[in-house]
Amino acid sequence: MTTILALETSCDETAVAVVRDRQVLSNAVTSQVELHQPYGGVVPEVACRQHLETLNLVLEEALSQARVFSWESIDGIAATCAPGLIGSLLMGLSAAKTLALVHQKPFLGVHHLEGHIYASYLAEAQLQPPFLCLLVSGGHTSLIQVRGCGDYGILGETRDDAAGEAFDKVARLLGLEYPGGPVIDQLADQGDPGRFNLPEGQVSLPEGGYHPYDTSFSGLKTAVLRLVRKLEATTAAPLPVNDLAASFQNAVARSLTRRALRAAQDYNLETLVVVGGVAANRGLRKHLGSAATTQGVRVLFPHPSLCTDNAAMIACAASDHFDHGHRSSLSLTAQSRLSLTRVMSLYE
């Protein structure tokens, strides 16, 4: 059984985990949310410095949780190398390379988005490709055909804001705190999703019609802005924040559900996994789960703790690559952007 120690520092979570095949032995995560809240978003320089301060402590915690008393029990060391904030990526990447060099272990660089896909394997150890993956996070919204380890086809992507980014921006419009996703999810539970008819957003094709799988959330965000301004101009009553949150969340859930289930049907894929930070959203889980059952599609959501950035998913991905004989060079560099379809460029 392959045991991997992995580090994840692509954005504002400092995370270290130990995973044996598809079993999580430890998964330590330190969040920087409170540090970035005053700015309404992640400040790259601040995130980088915080990783430097906390990485050794999180590493010690992960090793202690996993009861790793000897480096002989570790088969390989991995780190997220792309995509993400360069400074943050370099913190984890440099630490992982150093550990691999000192302890003479194979090193594996992991694509962050592939890590999210592998969170679904941690949710169900028997899961096997092919399947469809809906990846929804703060920086990405994609429909991915998973064909095997390192073998992916991008069926649809966002043309503007990612779903998680849209949640943060709408939360700001409503005067809510950062990050917006959890707050909107909580308020939406108390609101009426049918009170305001908000657009799902569609992507036009040059030859006419609309793209079946691509998403767009900038129009939805603008619709919320105009609605808020109209309500503020026409009534002295406080904004119906709960209903606005519920209506917005419902529009996002409808948009993602329609595209994901159409792709599953078009590509004859019976299993749909939903990963990324927005996969923890209760409104999306309820709406997509119900619609998928009607269409006979099996939907798999990882535990919410595995939806947000974590190192267990990185270790799981690295473990599969390790078992396929893939290794990375110690000269591998951090990359702010790298298509998921180029995952295999990370290995020799």
pLDDT, one tens digit per residue, over 70-109 is 999 999 999 999 999 999 999 999 999 999 999 999 999 9
Residue 124 lies in a domain: no
DSSP state of 66: T
| 16 and 160 together in one domain | no
Per-residue pLDDT in tens (0 to 9) along the chain, 348 residues: 899 999 999 999 999 999 999 999 999 999 998 899 998 899 999 999 999 999 999 999 999 999 988 999 999 999 999 999 999 999 999 999 999 999 999 999 999 999 999 999 999 999 999 999 999 998 899 999 999 999 999 999 999 999 999 999 999 999 999 999 999 999 999 999 999 999 988 888 888 888 999 999 999 999 999 999 999 999 888 999 999 999 999 999 999 999 999 999 999 999 999 999 999 999 999 999 999 999 999 999 999 999 999 999 999 999 999 999 999 999 999 999 999 999 999 999
| pLDDT for the residue 127 | 97
What lies within 8 Å, CB to CB, of 79 at 6+ separation is 6, 7, 8, 9, 92, 93, 95, 96, 97, 107, 108, 109, 110, 314
Based on the fold, state whether residues 91 and 195 are members of the same structural domain: no
- Sort strands 151-157 and 141-148 into parallel, antiparallel or unpaired: antiparallel
DSSP code, position 21: T
Asked if residue 83 has a cis previous peptide bond (ω within 30° of 0), the answer is yes
Considering the domain boundaries, does residue 217 fall inside one? yes
Residue 198: give the domain boundaries: 129-302
**133 and 244 inside one domain:** yes
pLDDT for the residue numbered 71: 94
pTM of the prediction? 0.95
Whole-number Å distance between alpha carbons of 156 and 159: 9
Task: Specify burial of residue 252 (Cβ count, 10 A radius: 0-12, 13-18, 19+).
Answer: buried
Q: Which helix (DSSP H) or strand (DSSP E) does residue 30 occupy? A: strand 23-31
Residue 221 in any domain: the answer is yes
* Whether 84 and 208 share a structural domain: no
Q: Do both 278 and 326 map to the same domain?
A: no
Tokens standing for residue 172: 């700001």
The string of pLDDT tens digits covering residues 159-187 is 999 999 999 999 999 999 999 999 999 99
Pairing of strands 107-111, 151-157: unpaired
In this prediction, residue 113 carries a pLDDT of 98
One domain for residues 189 and 280: yes
Q: What is the DSSP string of 155-199?
A: EEEBSSS-HHHHHHHHHHHTTPPSSHHHHHHHHHTTS-TTSS---
Q: What is the CATH number of the domain that holds 141?
A: 3.30.420.40
CB 264 within 8 A of CB 132: yes
Q: Let me know whether 324 and 290 are in one domain.
A: no
Going by C-beta distance under 8 Å and a sequence separation of 6 or more, which residues neighbour residue 206? none
Q: Is residue 19 part of a domain?
A: yes
| Of 286, 302, 318, the domain-final residue | 302
Contact 115, 133 (CB under 8 A): no
Q: Are residues 182 and 101 in the same domain?
A: no
Q: Residue 189: inside a domain, yes or no?
A: yes
Domain count, the chain: 2
Instruction: Tell me whether residue 312 is in a domain.
Output: yes
Same-domain check for residues 170 and 263: yes
Output the pLDDT for position 138.
Answer: 87
> How do 76-82 and 107-111 pair as beta strands?
parallel
What SS3 class is residue 304?
Answer: helix
Does residue 258 sit in the same domain as residue 329? no
Same domain for 220 and 136: yes
SS3 of 16, please? strand
pLDDT at site 220: 95
Q: Decide if 216 is inside a domain.
A: yes
My answer on whether 59 and 158 are in the same domain is no
In a domain, 72, yes or no: yes
> How many Å separate Cα 13 from the centre of its chain?
12
Under 8 Å between Cβ of 183 and 176: yes
